[in-house]
Amino acid sequence: MIKAVIIDDESALRDINRSLLNDNFPNIEIVGEADSVNSGIELIKNSNPDIVLLDIEIKGGTGFNILQKVKSYNFKLVFITAFNHFAIKAIKFSAIDYILKPVNEFEFINAIENTLQKIESHEMEKQVSNFFDHYEKKTQSKKIVLRTSEAMHIIDISDIIYCQSDNSYTSFYLSDSKKIIVSRTLKEFSELLEDYDFLRPHQSYLVNLNFIKKVDKSDGGFIIMNNGKEIPVSTRRKHVLMQILDKL
């Protein structure tokens, strides 16, 4: 049996999460609940759970205060949060599952299913460390966690040459010639990487400006990357691209 705990200072939210777990995941046993930083720390240390559902805003501080006190992380983490753009961006960079308030049943089930798939993984400590790096803006060289069906890849953003969309999948092409395919849309990564010298010259591509070798204006226009890849430029984005390149 997989053990789970719920840490949230709203009793109604704990009731909803408990009900959704009981109704949809009979292999998960809820071994405890907490409503504050101190009780959450004690609960995790005493129950040794496999999954922690953790509210970000909580009595006595934040869920982050709990994470800082319970290292090392022998559990999988699912954040529960009202919309917080900065926190969610850091969460996405780290490929940690999260549930938005008010809780949507479909999103809840999807987050728990994703978590169960990686229950045997031992990457949680690296993911949480990466989350704090982004949330607190500690590091100059940023990393992103890319989760595939086979593995968790933690890579430097500066090593990404370009990304290519394939419907609901995104392929990452790296400077060491590796290719990583992730089951998330290009739009999501475009929003994450917009502050790191990435530009979307075409609806199917996201490029690292630091790897552009040449911009060819013939035949509608296309970009040539350092690895020789030719990437089309849409008519409406050509002007924006040239403006950005002029400033580099």
Same domain as 128, residue 10 = yes
Same domain as 125, residue 33 = yes
Note whether residue 142 is domain-resident.
no
**Model confidence at 24, in pLDDT bands (50, 70, 90)?**
very high
Note whether residue 236 is domain-resident.
yes
Note whether residue 240 is domain-resident.
yes
Note whether residue 146 is domain-resident.
no
Same domain as 36, residue 128 = yes
Same domain as 237, residue 177 = yes
Q: Answer yes or no: are the C-beta atoms of 183 and 117 closer than 8 Å.
A: no
Collapsed DSSP state (helix, strand, coil) of residue 224: strand
What does the DSSP assignment read for 6-34? Answer: EE-S-HHHHHHHHHHHHHH-TTEEEEEEE
Task: Give the C-alpha separation, 85 to 127, whole Å.
Answer: 18
83-139 residue pLDDT tens: 666 788 888 888 899 999 889 999 999 999 989 987 777 778 888 888 888 877 765
Amino acid at 34: A
The model's pTM = 0.75
Task: Indicate the pairing of strand 76-81 with strand 179-182.
Answer: unpaired
Domain count, the chain: 2
188-247 residue pLDDT tens: 999 999 889 899 999 999 999 999 998 877 766 788 999 999 999 887 777 777 776 666
Enclosing domain of residue 53: 2-136
